[in-house]
Amino acid sequence: MWRYNGGMQMYDPIGGLYQSLGDAPFYKLVDEFYKRVENEPLLRPMYPADLTMSREHLALFLIQRTGGPGTYSQKQGHPRMRARHMPFKIGQKERDAWMKHMTAALDSVPELAASRQPLFEFFDNFATFMINQPG
């Protein structure tokens, strides 16, 4: 999907996915991801005991980011993801654990197979951007 951002035309490779995929694959992805986080000792303690809202927020964020309804921002305000992650200690190890589980989740949702590469690159870059601690 092409986007105009004032000076440049930029290609956003995941910006149009929602249109063809709808909600379901994103909810599946998030379920598969949190199922893995449940058993990840490095990450599990960072998240609340009840993961219901964590699931909902990530699904709504991805739906919005891929061109679907803006429910995430209506509920949570501007994404400002880096600031939202500041309370958590995210170093290279946490980032790699997050990415390992997201990659496995991505590979477990057949509806996302055709978009695996752009989604992988989006998560890979975004996860690196969330690093806020050395080591």
Binding region for ligand HEM (CB under 6 A): 43, 46-48, 53-54, 57-58, 61, 76, 81, 84-85, 88, 90, 94-95, 98, 123, 126-127, 130
CA distance 97 to 91: 10
Kindly state the smallest distance separating residue 7's Cβ from ligand HEM, in Å.
Answer: 26
Give the nearer residue to ligand HEM in terms of CB position, either 6 or 40.
40
| Residue 115 burial (CB count, 10 A) | 20
Kindly state the smallest distance separating residue 57's Cβ from ligand HEM, in Å.
Answer: 4
Which residue has 């599946």 as its token pair? 28
- DSSP summary character for residue 4: E
Kindly state the smallest distance separating residue 24's Cβ from ligand HEM, in Å.
Answer: 18
Give the nearer residue to ligand HEM in terms of CB position, either 8 or 49.
49
**Contact (Cβ atoms closer than 8 angstroms) between residue 51 and residue 34:** yes
**Contact (Cβ atoms closer than 8 angstroms) between residue 135 and residue 92:** yes
Give the nearer residue to ligand HEM in terms of CB position, either 27 or 61.
61
Give the nearer residue to ligand HEM in terms of CB position, either 9 or 73.
73
- φ, ψ of residue 90 to 5 degrees: the values are -115, 105
